[in-house]
Amino acid sequence: MSLIDRIAALETEVEKASARTADEVEQFRVSMLGRNGAVTELFDAFKQVAAEEKRILGQRLNQLKQAAHARVDALRSTMEQDGVTEGAALDLSAPALTEPTGSLHPITLVRQRIVEVFSRIGFTVSQGPEVEDDLHNFGALNFPPDHPARDMQDTFFVSGGIGPDGMALRTHTSSVQVRVMEGSTPPIRTISPGRVYRNEAISARAHCMFHQVEGLYVDKDVSFADLKGTLDHFAKSMFGPDVRIRLRPSYFPFTEPSAEVDMSCSICGGSGCNICKGSGWVEIMGCGMVDPAVLTNCDIDPTVYSGFAFGMGVERIAQLIYRVPDLRMYWENDMRFLEQFTAAPFRK
């Protein structure tokens, strides 16, 4: 076979070349362009061609070599587009690749569960502005003008500073409860989940922005026993039927009497561990009976109605559920951390 015929035969072979795997593409490249490849052999034979034929045959050989390189590149590109790896055959029956499914943030999961627990016993959900005036954030809640919570170290003021004309990022969602009482007639049974802001140093146990869920129940003959029963139901719904709660006397300007709520440690079962600092108890929220002065500030007659209120940090509840040691991990947006939370391990 003459050299021109061999060139023509290889041109046809290159044009029709196909491959199912990356290995087959490499085999084709070696067979054509390798040290002992067919195109390389033609270039060796070209050295013996008469001078008058070299011009035409040289052009055909160069075109053949370029066509072989182009065909190898095209086959490799096809392999990459189809997701074919080394040694793997192209399976046309395989399902299409899909984007990974996302999940809710752990704080969102816990907040939704808290809302669900209270919704089942008749609590509605109320929302309010995150930038609040002094009346709703402090004044109507019985904070005296010299209360420490009004100090610049605790509050992010937007305008006006301390005083009746001041506007600040709300320090608690109790401001939403004030707005609900102003615009409603008892009975009132509501929870107010949302973000709150306090001028605190960020650490493993504290943050300048966090989430709260506060609850309010106002009606005739509401008692402290109703409050304790409600919170006991919440604790058992979140952490299991064996969990116990206890209430310790405390102080809040807007409730009287006031209490801190402790829960038997869900990690050690009350026997003592590093989470509960060996006491067998962990604090989960504050609560109390609504101060009559607060009811009066909201145009509700305290001689007819009484009520209770409570408030908890969602991050605190999430830490007890997920056992996350550092609050900052919730805000770093590290996908390795967030991808672990496809569902919350709540009690049924």
Contact 210, 313 (CB under 8 A): yes
Report residue 268's pLDDT band, with 50, 70 and 90 as the boundaries: confident
Chain centroid to CA 218: how far? 34
Query: Is 15 a residue whose pLDDT tops 50?
Result: yes
Q: What tokens appear for 91 in the block?
A: 């399976």
Higher pLDDT, 277 or 216: 216
Query: Is 293 a residue whose pLDDT tops 90?
Result: yes
Burial class (CB in 10 A: 0-12, 13-18, 19+), 162: middle
In CATH terms, the fold of domain 106-127+171-338 is BirA Bifunctional Protein; domain 2 (3.30.930)
**CATH 3.30.930.10 residue window(s) in the chain:** 106-127+171-338
Q: Which residue's entry shows tokens 């095209």?
A: 74
Report residue 65's pLDDT band, with 50, 70 and 90 as the boundaries: confident
Of 179, 199, 104, 181, nearest to 135 by C-alpha is 179
Query: Is 84 a residue whose pLDDT tops 60?
Result: no
- C-alpha torsion sign, points 278, 283, 288, 291: positive
Average pLDDT (257-273) is 84
Report residue 195's pLDDT band, with 50, 70 and 90 as the boundaries: very high
pLDDT score at 210? 92
Q: What tokens appear for 218 in the block?
A: 């106002």
Contact 32, 38 (CB under 8 A): yes
Residue 208 makes CB contacts below 8 A (sequence gap 6+) with 156, 197, 198, 199, 200, 202
Report residue 345's pLDDT band, with 50, 70 and 90 as the boundaries: low
Q: Which residue's entry shows tokens 């409600």?
A: 230
- β-strand pairing of 124-125 with 188-197: parallel
**Alpha-helix residue ranges (DSSP H) falling in 18-105:** 22-33, 38-46, 51-81
Q: How many CB atoms lie within 10 A of CB 263?
A: 25
Average pLDDT (101-109) is 85
Is the pTM here over 0.85, yes or no?
no
Of 202, 311, 185, 182, nearest to 254 by C-alpha is 311
pLDDT score at 96? 75
Contact 198, 155 (CB under 8 A): yes
Burial class (CB in 10 A: 0-12, 13-18, 19+), 153: exposed
Q: How many CB atoms lie within 10 A of CB 18?
A: 10
Q: What tokens appear for 63 in the block?
A: 């075109």
CA angle 56, 60, 61 (to 5 degrees): 115
pLDDT score at 43? 80
Query: Is 346 a residue whose pLDDT tops 70?
Result: no
| CA 157/CA 151 separation, integer angstroms | 10
The residues pairing with 188 across neighbouring beta strands, listed in sequence order, are 218
The residues pairing with 210 across neighbouring beta strands, listed in sequence order, are 196
pLDDT score at 85? 52
Of 72, 86, 69, nearest to 22 by C-alpha is 86
Query: Is 3 a residue whose pLDDT tops 90?
Result: no
Residue 256 makes CB contacts below 8 A (sequence gap 6+) with 288, 289, 291, 292
Report residue 348's pLDDT band, with 50, 70 and 90 as the boundaries: very low
Contact 276, 265 (CB under 8 A): yes
